[in-house]
A and B are shown apart, each in its own frame.
Chain A
């Protein structure tokens, strides 16, 4: 049977399965691909030549938001993309997206394929699609029952990239694990966040006294090492940091500052491994309903500000932005124009700075203009459950995905820093896509929910009981913890709370059901920055 025939048969199959999914109101983000790949196992290889460009996003956190932002930027530039937008990011999900974009004549509707790729699937997927540009967001511990250990996850990407010598990498320079992956690759562009980028007002939150004692809330602060908390008998509360040891020589890395997790400005005192010079540097960040930031692009030293009137120069004069390749004359730094791009996007949470930065860097590499990026960023709509707002029980209710300690901590920080009384549903499942092992909850920092502004935490999902125990030991008063495993019951209980702001934090397999329920019982709030 010719491959052409099998591919078209697979396409037909995918269409039929997709139609059936639609009929039964099943999302169908990966089932059509699962079935169609049975008909034609190498369908993804066969479909990618139809695209002028194949782009990929991988890493632990921020894949979906980064890919969606980049798709949004490219669409705004008049270049529509084929894209697995809903986060089904293993081979069947990617196949589903490509089948959806393919026509029976053998052509694709879009010229660009933008693929979010699960960090455990990079081997299979990259070999099949051979991306010309890969964004790597970060590496945190996540679903260790699937990937065992981070070392193995990063090794997978390194192996996958070894077969792609001409691929451009867009890497998070603040993450030593990501940077180590790019060593030896020819084309690498780095993005990162400058010091003191986190608003000062936010530091020290999360402790009842408003003190600065919570080590987990050290955004942009100097490093505080884990200290024995002998006085209170509290167990080690320091935030989990991956990649503490130099990937080249094994010496413990020294940090000038951290943003969160292991993200920050680091160097190895032994072998000289350090955060690379930044091609795209974010600074001057303000958080709130909207995220505002400046991005310095591939330019002169920070001592030569070239920004809009009123904008401050990037902090930390010692931070070196990468010298331009065109720059030849020494001392010409001040003359060579560094560009400042000011962006505003309807996103919340410091972690989204990295997502915007990564998408902007990739869009610039693909030739999207500053103006288009600025325009599109203002009109971005968050993906399902990425701090998505609903109107529910007469109040604002925000739905957010949590799936690993670092991601959960960043969401919790954003929750706690909003004013007023709050009530939350936290829904933890342990299906395959969530990770079967829920012990990661104990590596997250739920202690911040002991804050008096949190009226109630309703534990839901298949592992509601485990979460309740975790909250108890994190110091949340017993009378504020409630166990209600069923989704509708948990939302009914949430609606009954006296609180100004409502939140639903859910693992992956709960996310879409909560989104649907909230949409049905309330309404989606669309936020645009005009």
Chain B
């Protein structure tokens, strides 16, 4: 088996250790004997995203996100095409906001997004930050491999308030923390095999079950349902439980 991974804008959207998510995804595939091809794609590169099985993008500083936003005018439609075809995608924080319909800043100016997700973001005054505990969307529960967890944990750090449209589901409900906007109890987004979230940590480090869900979804288009062999997740589950216990 073979999996093709695209790390999008690794040089620009690289805050908060988010690249760890790519490392975790790749390692967990390799440990199961799946051959991994990883491409780092940035501003000058022209690629067909539908040639990949999994696409990742993180969050960045304002200046860098400005550069990315411009570049996404070109790359955006290709990303949408890939997701419509079933390619798995994970975007975090800034990347999450950029793939929505628009971002409205404090002064009212609107920055158009890719529109891959039916959601929009507005700048907020107070920064929402801290450890966060979530209850995974019921449709995403069920466990892949040996790793049965129904919660997600991580660290959120954002001033944007994100609001979801009708056509998408939240990734999870907030148990402790703020989530998308600190108001409606939703966190993250799910559309087809594409996921967005505010969680750092990196996100997948304490959520190995979700990493496996992404691997299974990424393989589905070409290989159908795949049984992922269980891994020794003692350390990951311990880290998840320690944080869960602290927040409950």
Give the interface residue-count category, chain A.
35 or more
Residues of A within 8 A of B105 (CB): none
Residues of B within 8 A of A149 (CB): 15, 61-62
Residue-wise interface mask of A (489-514) relative to B, using a CB-CB cutoff of 8 A (1 in contact, 0 not): 00000000000000000000000000
Residues of B within 8 A of A221 (CB): none
* Chain B facing A: main interface SS: mixed
| A141 CA to B200 CA, complexed, in Å | 15
Residues of B within 8 A of A236 (CB): 7, 10, 19, 22, 40
B11 touches A144 (CB 8 A): no
**Is B17 at the interface (CB under 8 A from chain A)?**
yes
Residues of B within 8 A of A250 (CB): 63
Residues of B within 8 A of A234 (CB): 23, 26, 38
- B1-38, CB < 8 A from A: 5, 7, 10-11, 14-20, 22-24, 26-27, 29-30, 35-38
| A244 CA to B236 CA, complexed, in Å | 34
CB distance from B205 to the nearest CB of A (A): 5
CB distance from B51 to the nearest CB of A (A): 14
With contact pairs A149-B62, A151-B63, A235-B19 given, residues A226 and B10 touching in the complex (Cβ less than 8 Å) = yes
**Is A469 at the interface (CB under 8 A from chain B)?**
yes
| A529 CA to B130 CA, complexed, in Å | 46
B202 touches A442 (CB 8 A): yes
**Is A12 at the interface (CB under 8 A from chain B)?**
no
B40 touches A440 (CB 8 A): no
Residues of B within 8 A of A439 (CB): 16-18, 20, 155, 200-202
A468 touches B238 (CB 8 A): yes
**Is A229 at the interface (CB under 8 A from chain B)?**
yes
**Is A436 at the interface (CB under 8 A from chain B)?**
yes
Q: Which residue of A lies closest to B11 (CB)?
A: A226
Other-chain residue from A240, A441, A466, A473 in contact with B14 (beta carbon distance below 8 A): A240
Residues of A within 8 A of B130 (CB): 436
B15 touches A144 (CB 8 A): yes
**Is A102 at the interface (CB under 8 A from chain B)?**
no
Residues of A within 8 A of B61 (CB): 149-151
A469 touches B7 (CB 8 A): no
Residue-wise interface mask of A (224-252) relative to B, using a CB-CB cutoff of 8 A (1 in contact, 0 not): 00111110011110001000110000100
B235 touches A469 (CB 8 A): yes
**Is A287 at the interface (CB under 8 A from chain B)?**
no
Q: Which residue of B lies closest to A481 (CB)?
A: B235
**Is A470 at the interface (CB under 8 A from chain B)?**
yes
